Amino acid sequence: MQVSEKDIQKLVEQVLSKISTEATSSEKANPEPVVALEDGVFATVDECVQAAMVAEKEMRSVSLATRRAMIKAMREVSIRHAEELAIIAVNETGLGRIEDKKNKNLLAAEKTPGVEDLVSTTYSGDDGLTLVEQAPFGIVGSITPTTNPAATIINNSISLIAAGNVVVYNPHPSAKKVSLKAMQLLNQAIVSAGGPKNALTSVATPNLDTSKQVMEHKDIRALVVTGGGLVVKAAMKTGKKVIAAGPGNPPVVVDETADLEKAGRDIVNGASFDNNVLCTAEKEVFVVDKVASTLIKEMEKSGAVLLKGFQLEKLLKTVLTEKDGKHYPAREFIGKDASVILEAAGLKADPSVKLIICETKFDHPLVWTEMLMPVLPIVRVPDVDTAIEMAVKAEKGNRHTAMMHSQNVTNMTKMAREIQATIFVKNGPSYAGLGFNGEGFTTLTIAGPTGEGLTSARTFTRQRRCALVEGLRII
Ligand code: NAD
C-alpha cells in the first residue's frame, strides 16, 4: 500500500498536536523554564524580537574581522561541548546515538562555511564602479527539528551569523533543553569575540504557538525552516521569504557491477548512523536480483540482522501503526536502537545489531514511509533500469538525497539525471554527502522544497548593488 503525502501530513498533524498538548501540560506541571532566562533566552517571542532588533543594529557596524572572530569562537565552543550536547540531546529526545550525535555536532562546528562563503563582485568601467555584495536579510526566524537539535542550531547559527544576520529560534518543543543550551553557548562565544549580545534568541518554552508567532512576526524578515512537510507548508503560507528544508525518503540503488562487500558495509553504516533519524539516511534499497543475496550477506556481516516470516510479521506489527487502512511509523520507536526495536517485537536482540533489514515488495509501506529508525526494506529488481525507475518513485519528488553503488559510469549518470536529488552519493554511505568522511562543506538544512538545495552563509543573503556613477576609473 502506498502512503500519500496527505496521509503523512495527517499523521504529522496528529503527532504535533500531541507534542503541543504534551508541551502545554508539562509546562503547566513544571512552569520553570529548562534553562535560565539569559544569553538570548526570553519569556516571549516579542521580547526575543526586541532584543534581536538591538543586536541587528549593532551587527551592522561589526567589522568583518570581528565577524570572523565570532565564527571562530562559535566553532570552538561547539567543539568543546559536542559530547555534552550529544548526551543532553539523546537523554531529552530519546532519539539516536550519543557517539553519532557528537560527530554531527563536530561536523557542523568544523565544516559549516563561515564569512569566506560570501563573495562580492565588482564592475568597473567608464561609467563608474559598481559593487554587488551579499547583504544580510536582518532578523531571521529559524525553526529547528528534534532529530538533529544541537547540530542544526550550530550549523544554522554559523551560517546565519557569518552572513551578518541575527536569529530568533523556535526549537522543537521535544528538544528545547539541548537546543537552548547550544544557543546560549554560541551567544556567549559571540560576545566573547566582540559581537553583540542576543545575536541568537529563543523563547524559553517553545511550542507550536510560539513557532507560529515567530513565523508571523512583522519584524522577522525571512524564515529558515528545517522539519517535516507540515512546518514547511505553514512557513510558506506566511508570504515571507522562506528557505525550507523538508522531509526525504532516500533510496539506494545497487547494480550488478557494485563492489558488494563495500556496498553492504556502506549501506549498514549510513542507515544505522544516529539510528536513521537523518533526513539524508538510506531509507530503502533497490538491488539487482543477480547480486541481491550476496549484498544481503555482506550487510549481515556488517551488523545487520535479516528478518523474515513470522519474525518479520512481529517487527511490522511493532514499527508500523495502521489507521484507516494507512500505515505510519510507530512514534515510540523513531530513532531507537535496533536492539530495542527487536526486543519490543519479542525477538532475540543482540546489542551489537546496528540495523534490521528485510526483503519486501515495491509497494510495501516500509518503502513508502519515512520511518526514521534503523529498519531498512530491500526490494529485488530484475535490472538497473527498473531499480532507478523505482528509486525515483520512492523518492517522491523530494529531490532530497539518493545513493548508488555501481562501477558503471553510464548507470551512475542515468541515476543522477533521473533522480535530480540535492545530494547524490556514489559508492559511499549517505553521511558522506553531508561531508562526514566525505569531501565538501556541511549543512544540516537541505532546502529542497524552496529550491536552494545545500544551504550555507551565502544562501542567507540578498544581492545588493552599490553603484558609484562617473567615479574614478580604476582600470
Ligand atoms: P517536525 O516537522 O515535527 O518539527 C520541526 C519544527 O517545526 C519544530 O520546531 C516544530 O515545533 C515546528 N512545527 C511543526 N509543525 C508546525 C506548524 N504547523 N506550524 C509551526 N511550526 C511547526 O520535524 P521533526 O520531527 O523535528 O524532524 C524530522 C523531520 O524533519 C523529518 O521529516 C526529516 O526528514 C525532516 N528534516 C529535514 C531536514 C532537511 O535538511 N531537509 C533536516 C532535518 C530534518
Q: Where along the chain do its domains lie?
A: 41-246+455-465, 251-438
Residue 335 CB less than 6 A away from ligand 1: no
Q: Is the pTM of this model over 0.85?
A: yes
172 lines ligand 1 (CB under 6 A): yes
2-16: string of b/e by CB count within 10 Å (b at 16+)? bbeeebbebbbeebb
Separation of 453 CA from ligand 1 center, angstroms? Answer: 17
Q: Give the number of the atom of ligand 1 that is nearest the alpha carbon of residue 148.
A: 43
- Atom from ligand 1 closest to the CA of residue 215: 20
Centre of ligand 1 to C-alpha 227, Å, is 2
Residues 6 or more apart whose Cβ sits within 8 Å of residue 170: 45, 141, 142, 143, 144, 202, 203, 206, 210, 211, 214
Q: Tell me the best of 5, 22, 107, 147 to mutate to test the pocket of ligand 1, counting ligand atoms within 8 Å of each CB and taking the most.
A: 147
Residue 77 Cα, ligand 1 centroid: separation in angstroms? 26
3-state secondary structure of 412: helix
Q: How many helices (H) and strands (E) does the chain have?
A: 16, 20
pLDDT in tens, the chain (475 residues): 444 555 544 544 444 444 443 443 433 434 467 889 999 999 999 999 999 999 999 999 999 999 999 999 999 999 999 999 999 999 999 999 999 999 999 999 999 999 999 999 999 888 989 999 999 999 999 999 999 999 999 999 999 999 999 999 999 999 999 999 999 999 999 999 999 999 999 999 999 999 999 999 999 999 999 999 999 999 999 999 999 999 999 999 999 999 999 999 999 999 999 999 999 999 999 999 999 999 999 999 999 999 999 999 999 999 999 988 888 999 999 999 999 999 999 998 899 999 999 999 999 999 999 999 999 999 999 999 999 999 999 999 999 999 999 999 999 999 999 999 999 999 999 999 999 999 999 999 999 999 999 999 999 999 999 999 986 665 5
CATH tag, 41-246+455-465 = 3.40.605.10
Instruction: State whether the beta carbon of 231 lies less than 6 angstroms from ligand 1.
Output: yes
Question: How far away, in angstroms, is 228 Cα from ligand 1 center?
Answer: 4
Distance 434 CA to ligand 1 centre (A): 19
Which of these CATH numbers, 3.40.309.10, 3.40.50.2300, 3.40.47.10, 1.10.150.120, describes 251-438?
Answer: 3.40.309.10
Q: Is the CB of 442 under 6 A from ligand 1?
A: no
